[in-house]
Amino acid sequence: MVQLIPMPENEFKDYLKSAVEEYAQEHVRAGNWDPAEALQKSEQEFQQLLPQGVASPDQHLFAIVDDATGAKVGMLWFAVQHKGSHPYAFVYDFSIDEQFRRKGYGRQAFSVLEEKARSLGLDSISLHVFGHNRAAIALYQAAGYEITNLHMVKKLAD
């Protein structure tokens, strides 16, 4: 099984740099952002969400750690949000390090996340996934997540 261990400040700085770059690239790949502006837009979004780093209110950043070996296998970040009077968890980022993928760590991490969300009095977990990320979509669906919105596009040739 895995544990979710609060992310230390020194790990957060490394995480932030790579996450901002990856998020910008994902938006470019999805066709949402112009490459020339993507990094700046990504930096702005992260600054709005995490103005105080790991101490930002209602933001929960974790290292995913294998209980048996003590190895850090990935990370998970969620925020407590509200839809009307219903508090819920919104997963902003989740990743399993390449060498640990397809070994059950993702499903275990989401199972532990469910326990953590319940302990905070949250009634659901929501997330966004880019349409081109088929592996993530398969993982989330296998974990019981349902599609609530679906945006589609058809690119027309010149």
Domain that holds residue 99: 2-142
Q: What is the pLDDT of residue 102?
A: 93
> What are the tens digits of pLDDT across the range 108-138?
999 999 999 999 999 999 999 988 899 999 9
Within a domain: residue 7? yes
The predicted structure's pLDDT at residue 157: 82
Quote the percentage of the chain above a pLDDT of 70: 100
**What CA–CA distance (Å, rounded) separates 74 from 106?**
9
Within a domain: 157: no
**Would strands 72-83 and 59-66 be described as parallel, antiparallel, or unpaired?**
antiparallel
For position 108, which CATH number holds?
3.40.630.30
- What pLDDT score does 155 carry? 83
- How many CA within 13 A on the CB side of residue 40? 4
**For 70-78, which contacts have Cβ atoms below 8 Å and span 24 or more sequence positions?**
71/100, 72/97, 73/2, 73/97, 73/100, 73/105, 74/100, 74/105, 74/106, 74/109, 75/7, 75/15, 76/4, 76/109, 76/113, 78/113, 78/117, 78/125
pTM: 0.91
Furthest-apart CA atoms within the chain: distance in Å: 55
Residue 149 lies in a domain: no
With respect to residue 150, please indicate whether it lies within any of the assigned structural domains.
no
Q: Based on the structure, what is the number of domains in the chain? A: 1
Out of 12-16, 21-25, 55-59, 148-152, least confident range: 148-152
- Residue 132 has what pLDDT? 85
Mean pLDDT on 133-150 = 92
Task: Yes or no: say if 41 and 33 are a contact pair by the CB < 8 Å rule.
Answer: yes
Determine contact, residues 46/23, Cβ cutoff 8 Å: yes
Place of tokens 């088929």: 134
Query: By the 8 A CB rule, do 9 and 53 touch?
Result: yes
Of 50, 121, 65, 130, give the one whose Cα is nearest residue 97.
Answer: 65
